[in-house]
Structure 1
Amino acid sequence: MTKRITNKSVEKEMSFLDHLEELRWHLIRATIAVVLMASIAFIAKSFIFDVLLLGPKQADFPTYRLLCKAARFIGMESFCFEELPFRIQSRTMAGQFSAHIWTSITAGFIVAFPYVLYEFWKFISPGLRNEERKTSRGFIIVASFLFFIGVLFGYYVVTPLSINFLGSYKVSEQVFNDFDLSSYISLVRASVLASGLIFELPIIIYFLTKIGVVTPEFLRKYRKFALVIVLIISAVITPPDIASQVIVAVPVVILYEISIYISKAVVRKQKRKAKANVN
């Protein structure tokens, strides 16, 4: 009897260790994918910095041109300018090299995001039932699509609005804006990644509904509180002017409303399945 208990405990311990080993390899493969994409980004330094990162600093950036046309249409010139009144500098010996490394890693993570999700899904999918795996088959595609839409929104909307406001803001004409390279990159990185993660809201609501944490009624009941949270998030990732906050808040509110319909669809399907099992 003692021997049998010992074998069971050893078997359980080995099973747990096997899961840890499997998780380790999934993390290793995901990390390798990020490093490979980061290496490509590191080599493409001119494109990453001159075109992508420093693009929102130029007056001919697409967002500024569009906002300028819209402003002129209503008789304003607030978004029309020839040059943003600030410079970017590096004030530490390793500043530019460090910025190059971390920017490459960020770019590598963004590009490799679908594969990272794939490795995560491969780890958790064996624990799901066959029907759950079938219904969640498009998880990687949908989640990746939403993430990239959020990244583009952060790059073309949040980033230029933030740079235009903060780069033009002055407390005195005697103070000139000289921003450190790391500060500028941090703003772009935070805007892009935060937007990418925020746009994952429908996916999060889907899984929370599946496990019974939230319901459509709950989401409708606390819609007003959610709106306040959305405005707070918009205030955090955008400059403190009302126009920018509204521009960012609108798509997030739309995502919240879509999440309610997704939650409703999940609950409806669960009720239909439960009714079929009873019959």
Structure 2
Amino acid sequence: MAGAEEDVKMPLMEHLTELRTRLLYSTVGFVIAFVVCFYFWKPVLDIVTAPLERACLAQGKPCPVIYTSLIEPFFTQVKIGAFAALCITFPLIAAQIYKFLAPGLYKNERMALVPFLVATPIMFAVGATFLYFVLLPLALHFFVGYQQYANIELMPKIGEYIDLVMKLVFAFGLCFELPVILTLLAKVGIVSSQGLRDKRRYAIIIVTVVAAIFTPPDAISMISLAIPMIALYEISIWLAKSVEKKRAAEEAAATESGTEVTPAS
């Protein structure tokens, strides 16, 4: 592969064979996880619906989860199985992507990429955990509270509730990838810590808009997402500064020793 540390060109068929192998491992891992999660979907459903049950009990009005279509429970089971399987096998899929790309990278590039691969699922899990334990209970308490102001009762459909939770999990997980993305961009030289500082006011506006889009229409939920994202942006500035200091130290050491440093991409 051109540009690789070994500087060996791999034929197209070998590329395709390697890609097929990595896709096969990822698919087999996902299918196995899906079968397991599909079978044990009830405990996952209990975990997902627990915040809703607590919000209803806090209002003193139980709101049973219902379904209005004969096929809705089955497709809900499929959604839960696929969603849980994707979360479980994401590290495996990321590892297969890395193994496919690694032969075409220099050693220092591979070493620079590993921390980001490790941090990505961790930050996604942090975002999903923040949603489950902080924002989702607040949002559900807000929506369930409408039962107190009118002669209405909440009877949420299981399919719609699962769709809402899955969308929020993905949204919050992606939002919490902000430090990983900005640090990686700083690593390759696309952004700088000073540039992130200069764009701070615009970042706050964008964060506020994103929080308003991804959260329920109440101020508490929006603030609950906006404040952590602003904090993550500030952490990204600090991480970018650390990357720049490390790069400057490596360049200074290389200058003193008279060797050339290959920048990590």
Confirm or deny a common fold (TM above 0.5).
yes
Distance 1:159 1:237 in 2: 12
In the other structure, the counterpart of 1:192 is 169
Using the TM superposition, give the Cα deviation of residue 17 of structure 1 relative to its aligned residue in structure 2, in angstroms: 4.0
> Which of residues 8, 11, 23 is equivalent to 2:19?
23
Distance 1:17 1:203 in 2: 34
Using the TM superposition, give the Cα deviation of residue 204 of structure 1 relative to its aligned residue in structure 2, in angstroms: 1.0
> Which of residues 225, 244, 250 is equivalent to 1:273?
250
Distance 1:149 1:229 in 2: 21
Distance 1:29 1:110 in 2: 16
218-227 or 30-39, which moves further after superposition? 30-39
Q: After superposition, where does 1:125-204 map in structure 2 within 5 Å? A: 125-169=102-146, 173-204=150-181
In the other structure, the counterpart of 1:95 is 72
Distance 1:88 1:217 in 2: 50
> Contact 1:90 / 1:96 at 8 angstroms: preserved in 2?
yes
Structure 1, unpaired ranges of 5+: 1-10, 65-79
In the alignment, structure 1 residue 214 sits paired with structure 2 residue 191: yes
Question: What SS does structure 2 have at the residue aligned with 1:179?
Answer: coil
Corresponding residue pairs, total: 249
In the other structure, the counterpart of 2:59 is 81
Q: Deviations over 1:201-227 (max 9, x none)?
A: 221112211222211111111111111
Q: In the superposition, relative to structure 1, how do residues 239 and 264 fare at CA in structure 2: closer, same or farther (>3 Å)?
A: same
Distance 1:17 1:170 in 2: 63
Letter in 2 for 1:28: L
Distance 1:265 1:105 in 2: 38
> Contact 1:146 / 1:200 at 8 angstroms: preserved in 2?
yes
> Contact 2:59 / 2:144 at 8 angstroms: preserved in 1?
no
Letter in 1 for 2:60: E
Question: What SS does structure 2 have at the residue aligned with 1:59?
Answer: helix
> Contact 1:159 / 1:187 at 8 angstroms: preserved in 2?
no
RMSD, aligned CA: 2.6
Using the TM superposition, give the Cα deviation of residue 275 of structure 1 relative to its aligned residue in structure 2, in angstroms: 2.8
Using the TM superposition, give the Cα deviation of residue 44 of structure 1 relative to its aligned residue in structure 2, in angstroms: 1.2
In the other structure, the counterpart of 2:219 is 242
Using the TM superposition, give the Cα deviation of residue 55 of structure 1 relative to its aligned residue in structure 2, in angstroms: 0.6
189-198 or 175-184, which moves further after superposition? 175-184
Q: In the superposition, relative to structure 1, how do residues 171 and 273 fare at CA in structure 2: closer, same or farther (>3 Å)?
A: same
Letter in 1 for 2:31: V
Instruction: Return structure 1 stretches of 4+ with deviation > 6 angstroms.
Output: none
Q: Deviations over 1:241-267 (max 9, x none)?
A: 111111122221111111111111112
Using the TM superposition, give the Cα deviation of residue 171 of structure 1 relative to its aligned residue in structure 2, in angstroms: 11
In the other structure, the counterpart of 2:44 is 48
Q: Deviations over 1:103-138 (max 9, x none)?
A: 110011112222222112212222221122234433
